[in-house]
Amino acid sequence: MNSRPAAGGGRWVDVPPARMVRWIEGFTERHGGPPETGPVPDGLRLAAPDGTTAVLHPPPGVPGAEDLAGFLAAVQAPRRLGLLLARKGAVAVGVADGERLVVSKVDRRYVQGRTAAGGWSQQRFARRRDNQAKAAMADAAELAVRLLLPEADRLAAVVGGGDRLAVDGILADRRLAPLVPLRAERLLDVPEPRHAVLVDAVTAARAVRVLVRDPQ
């Protein structure tokens, strides 16, 4: 389970749904319990007797719950997710059914890096690079049309990853309008998309994000 500092204090922990019960048991053992639970606008809050709190944020496609039992049932239920990862001309598109990646395609189109040259050469380079980036985005949108659009009625959510602007640009294609309402706020932090990265993204997209704060 990954742990990282949170802005404003505390730490984020990503917990796979299958390990959520054990994580809560460990939280109770460490901080006393059982904790008080209650819904908050962005998830479910646990408050331990020692003052430690944990807010459980449901994964994309999972509705909120009023109590812990309902939350656990919701996050562990199988659901179908669309995945759209994009970075530097590379794109990976997939469909996950529960923990399994059942549809996938990875593509990469060359996009030049930045140059220190100036004058006319720099302007010509910038136009070439812009054209390459547009072509890469068009190819990525075509992949999403082929793989995600037919699944739109069955997807609980579409989860993006990599470069937010690149994902925004792909989903701006008018043909992908049915996917836009399904897009999750969560953006996965991924390296250049490859098949192995797409497989790992399934786990990241399904994880419960927990914000833990210790008592002041």
For residue range 31-72, what is the model confidence (pLDDT) as tens digits?
A: 988 899 999 998 999 999 999 999 999 999 998 889 999 999
Q: How many residues belong to the chain? A: 216
User: Ramachandran region of residue 88, left (φ > 0), alpha (ψ -120 to 50) or beta?
Assistant: left
Choose between 185 and 119: higher pLDDT. 185
Rounded CA-CA distance 205/91 in Å is 17
β partners of residue 56: 44, 210
pLDDT beyond 50 at 110:
no
Delineate the domains of the chain, giving CATH numbers in brackets: 3-78+207-213 (no CATH), 80-205 (3.30.420.60)
pLDDT band, residue 88 (cuts 50/70/90): confident
Q: Would you tell me the crossing angle of helices 68-76 and 20-31 to the nearest 10 degrees?
A: 150
pLDDT beyond 70 at 19:
yes
Q: What is the pLDDT of residue 29?
A: 94
Q: What is the pLDDT of residues 183-197, one digit of tens each?
A: 999 999 999 999 999
Q: Tokens at residue 152, please?
A: 């739109």
Rounded CA-CA distance 152/171 in Å is 13
| DSSP string for residues in the chain | --EEE-TTSSEEEEE-GGGHHHHHHHHHHHH-SSPEEEEETTEEEEE-TTS-EEEEEPPTT----SSHHHHHHHHHS--EEEEEEEETTEEEEEEEETTEEEEEEEEE----------HHHHHHHHHHHHHHHHHHHHHHHHHHHHHTGGGGGG-SEEEEEE-HHHHHHHHTSGGGGGGGGGEEEEEE--SS--HHHHHHHHHHHHPEEEEEE---
